[in-house]
Structure 1
Amino acid sequence: MSFESLGLMAELLRAVSDKGYSAPSPIQLQAIPLVLEGRDIMGAAQTGTGKTAGFTLPLLQRLMESAKPEKGRRPIRALVLTPTRELAAQVHESVQTYGKHLPLKSTVVFGGVSINPQKQKLIKGVDILVATPGRLLDHVGQRSVDLSQIDILVLDEADRMLDMGFIRDIRKVLALIPKNRQTLLFSATFSNEIKALANDLLKSPALVEVARENTTAESVTQVVHPVDKKRKRELLSALIGGNDWKQVLVFTRTKHAANRLAEQLITDGITAAAIHGNKSQGARTRALADFKASKVRVLVATDIAARGIDIDQLPHVVNYELPNVAEDYVHRIGRTGRAGNEGEAMSLVCVDELKLLKDIERLIKRDIPSVTFEGYEPDPSIKAEPINNGRGGNTKRSPRKPASSQRRGGQPSARAAQNNRSKGNAGQSQQRGR
């Protein structure tokens, strides 16, 4: 099956070809024809499946087909809501990439940067607006945006928006846009809360689903490395240096831990940068750009980046600390093994985290292989201690509940070790987008 067979216009096919894509992914095969028909969509897919292009390409074509002669400022006709700034920026990048041969105009608005340049672009008029809910409502309050002529609404990563407490903001936005619209809702999981939201928003939606709920991509090799908490940094540096890894995304639970680990890696001679909610938007953008350009080998991130980082052929993801919420593990490791590429996801697990590991394995319905490196065996005399998120870190939350406090030589080789894995049992056991 080719993109040509999906009924896309020549300008979009040219943009797809420019990107080097020849065949649509399963989510694109299902979603694109349905969106072109004007159907509402309730879509679920693993990260890295091409979901963004799955709604961006037909959205652009729908706008071209319904284009009207311009009289004054062009109205916003498509609105895409995302939970985080990074995801908003990347969705907008896709809109620009696939729409580069079309006369449509777009912009993106999110918090952490000056609102005035955003206002100027909105005042000039755009066809497509990508936004985080909080900053969008800021613009509504300042009357720099008019949502009364929206034809297409996209809610991307809807489950994350609910987790982050955006439901009230979403309902405020919904009150400002026409009821007679096409709505596309995408979510990594179909929880009861998501289904309830969909019932309110969608009209006879088509279900698009290419993976079971809370599953991990088959292209990602997963492994657990048991190690004492105090030796995690040492093992991580050995893995990176001994295997000459060039691009590694590392996750911590807290902002403080991300900063500290990045500094320690730099001390070890490994270029690193941290990205989290306390960083300015400019610092976050620079760190991500340097990482994508391979100027920085290691990007240390909190879960704010779990769904907002899209890097072609990212080879390695490391859970330096397991997440408190098991579902976040799925989103973290979904940063690698994207678009059919292979990737490695490894977790450095200390005795304190064995319960978190069990929660993850229960969620993904599989045991993650455990490999203990010689010289890094955990000390059996060390007892588990309660996990301290750290001052200023992410508060522990239950899935699907709004986080109301959030404001808007002998070196180990991971693959070799897996081939000769130990049979030991040691591993069995946000900043809001304003």
Structure 2
Amino acid sequence: MDFLDLNVAEDIVEILKKEGIKKPTEIQSECIPLIKNSNDIIAQSQTGTGKTLAFLIPVIEKINPENKFISTLILAPTRELAIQITNEAEKLASCRDINILSAYGGKDIKAQMNKLKKNIHIVIATPGRLLDHIDRESIDLKRVETFILDEADQMLLMGFKNEVESILKHVNKKRQTLFFSATIDSQVKKLAYRYTSDPVFIEIKNQHVTMEKIKQSIVITTDREKFDSLCNVIDNDNPFMAIIFCRTKRRADKLEEDMGRRGYNCEKIHSDISQAKRERIMKNFRNMKTQYLIATDVASRGLDITGITHIYNYDFPESAEDYIHRIGRTGRAGENGESCSFVTEKNMKVLSDVEEKLGFEISRR
């Protein structure tokens, strides 16, 4: 099946082809016809399976550029994800006269308010900044036709449940509602069923689809030897582009300092870094001016950068789901990728959970 079989418009198919996307993923094949048919959806699919395009393609197709109101609202838990969805939306909308506003903290609110006075069709926002606009009465959501909550599990994990509910009080009640999430627990279900009408539940089960292109390995080490172990591995791998995950902001700060001292081309990203600086760091990484991006889990969701060849878990993740989300940053769009995780004695229980979920033992280096 290709995108034309899903009745995707030819101008959008051409843009997808230019981006090297020729065939829909499973989540896209399932969601696109249902969204075009105005169904409400609760969709569960692993990171790296193409969820963003699964909702952007049909939503952009449905928008009438002559509308003088916000017809689509997309809510994302983090600035990074909001920026990334905006980048994808702008590419798809480039063939149509559709205006997009990205609204998140750290960006000049007055500039956003000025833009809102013009004709905006899609708003992509984080909860805090959107509520700020609602309080200032600078945004009108009464005619929104489609509401999308992306990474619903992260939204709740980060404590945004009350904010989401406050926002929905201001959104058109007769809307289409789409919930997308990598995991769906009872909390996500409760929220989703409360705000959807007769939703279609979609679950893409096969995690091996996202894992099969990633060569995984682990290094058994100690906290004292971990830094030298990392340096030995990356010297041996010589990755083209890599993300190195740390557990805390302090650990990321220290690792950047230590790697910088050894001459590695690296930058760190976490929530204490100003938005302007975070955008500059991500731009450098995307443009391959930085080889190693040191990150906390703020970057493990929704981050889709072409060309990441390696993922290193300097600090082993705290759950099997987090492991899959992290290493899912590589091995995308049909490319091969590699991951290497550094495991100390205290990580053995989670390692066992990861291997059980994957269905195989990860090779030891």
- Shorter-chain TM-score range: over 0.9
Contact residue 74 and residue 148 of structure 2 kept, 8 A: yes
Contact residue 9 and residue 61 of structure 2 kept, 8 A: yes
Kindly tell me: are residues 234 and 360 of structure 1, through their superposed partners in 2, closer, same or farther at Cα, counting changes over 3 Å? same
- The structure 2 residue matched to 1:328, chosen from 322, 331, 334, is 322
SS at structure 2 position matched to 1:173:
helix
Q: Return the TM-score normalized by structure 1.
A: 0.80
Calculate the aligned-residue CA RMSD, in Å: 1.8
* Deviation (angstroms), 1:188: 0.3
Contact residue 262 and residue 272 of structure 1 kept, 8 A: yes
- How do residues 22-421 of structure 1 correspond to structure 2 at under 5 angstroms? 22-64=22-64, 69=66, 74-212=68-206, 217-362=211-356, 364=357, 366-372=359-365
Contact residue 355 and residue 362 of structure 2 kept, 8 A: no
Contact residue 252 and residue 301 of structure 1 kept, 8 A: yes
* Deviation (angstroms), 1:145: 0.7
Distance 2:28 2:318 in 1: 32
Deviates more, 1:85-94 or 1:302-311: 302-311
Amino acid in structure 1 at the alignment position of 2:50: G
SS at structure 2 position matched to 1:43:
strand
Contact residue 223 and residue 368 of structure 1 kept, 8 A: no
Distance 1:139 1:368 in 2: 50
Distance 1:295 1:134 in 2: 32
* Residue deviations 1:9-47 (CA, integer Å, cap 9, x gap): 232122222223221111111111111111111111121
* Residue deviations 1:274-310 (CA, integer Å, cap 9, x gap): 0000001111111111112111111000011111421
**Partner residue in 2 for 1:396:** none
Contact residue 190 and residue 213 of structure 1 kept, 8 A: no
Amino acid in structure 2 at the alignment position of 1:186: F
Kindly tell me: are residues 204 and 212 of structure 1, through their superposed partners in 2, closer, same or farther at Cα, counting changes over 3 Å? farther
Amino acid in structure 2 at the alignment position of 1:194: V
* Residue deviations 1:118-162 (CA, integer Å, cap 9, x gap): 111112231000000111001111111111110000111001001
**Which has the larger Rg?**
1
SS at structure 1 position matched to 2:211:
coil
Q: Return the TM-score normalized by structure 2.
A: 0.95
* Residue deviations 1:238-270 (CA, integer Å, cap 9, x gap): 222222212110100110110110111111111
* Residue deviations 1:221-247 (CA, integer Å, cap 9, x gap): 222210121121112112222222121
Amino acid in structure 1 at the alignment position of 2:69: P
Kindly tell me: are residues 275 and 138 of structure 1, through their superposed partners in 2, closer, same or farther at Cα, counting changes over 3 Å? same
* Deviation (angstroms), 1:214: 10
* Deviation (angstroms), 1:195: 1.4
Aligned residues: 365
Kindly tell me: are residues 5 and 212 of structure 1, through their superposed partners in 2, closer, same or farther at Cα, counting changes over 3 Å? closer
Amino acid in structure 2 at the alignment position of 1:23: K
**Partner residue in 2 for 1:5:** 5
Contact residue 216 and residue 363 of structure 2 kept, 8 A: no
Deviates more, 1:321-330 or 1:93-102: 321-330
Contact residue 263 and residue 272 of structure 1 kept, 8 A: no
Gaps of 5+ in 1: 373-434
Distance 1:84 1:146 in 2: 22
* Residue deviations 1:361-403 (CA, integer Å, cap 9, x gap): 45x253542414xxxxxxxxxxxxxxxxxxxxxxxxxxxxxxx
* Deviation (angstroms), 1:213: 7.6
Kindly tell me: are residues 360 and 31 of structure 1, through their superposed partners in 2, closer, same or farther at Cα, counting changes over 3 Å? same
Kindly tell me: are residues 167 and 365 of structure 1, through their superposed partners in 2, closer, same or farther at Cα, counting changes over 3 Å? same
SS at structure 2 position matched to 1:120:
helix
The structure with the greater share of residues assigned to helix is 2
* Residue deviations 1:73-125 (CA, integer Å, cap 9, x gap): x2111000001000000001111001101011111011123211111111223
